[in-house]
Structure 1
């Protein structure tokens, strides 16, 4: 199934969190936080301005991005979990 976000929305797939701490302790699933990093899979057309023009995105498909813990809306498609969020919810691009 193909998903195309609308306007200034971005489709993101979470990047799995590490299962070990820096000290080497293995974390059980119940102790893990949801990852705050993801990969951009699809973009909308951009934010629509009052004059009818669209603002281009600062991110592109394939970028690895950081976002806040509660950003976006979780959706499940074909058994996989994705996030749909506004570009404003993205904090940074990771190189």
Structure 2
């Protein structure tokens, strides 16, 4: 879960960097390496979100919202907050058992 949280944050940042290229804030010379990196992170995000969804027993709606957040700029911050709460909830449940 912690690994998914890290990948989620990095994937969100890479998406913002890609948008900076689109708006001309970063040179278009970097499109291929940035795009390839973002693509790899996106696929990893998708795989890890499915694993986390299965492990945490999230509903399909929760998973869809997590997935859709990967295509909305700055939504990774909301996902990060959600994942942080889930991690804290898991840690609390482990200490109670």
Q: Tell me whether the two structures share a fold, i.e. TM-score over 0.5.
A: no
Q: TM-score, normalised by structure 2?
A: 0.28
Give the structure with the higher percent helix: 2
Using CA pairs below 8 Å that are at least 6 residues apart, which structure has the higher relative contact order?
Answer: 2
Q: TM-score, normalised by structure 1?
A: 0.28
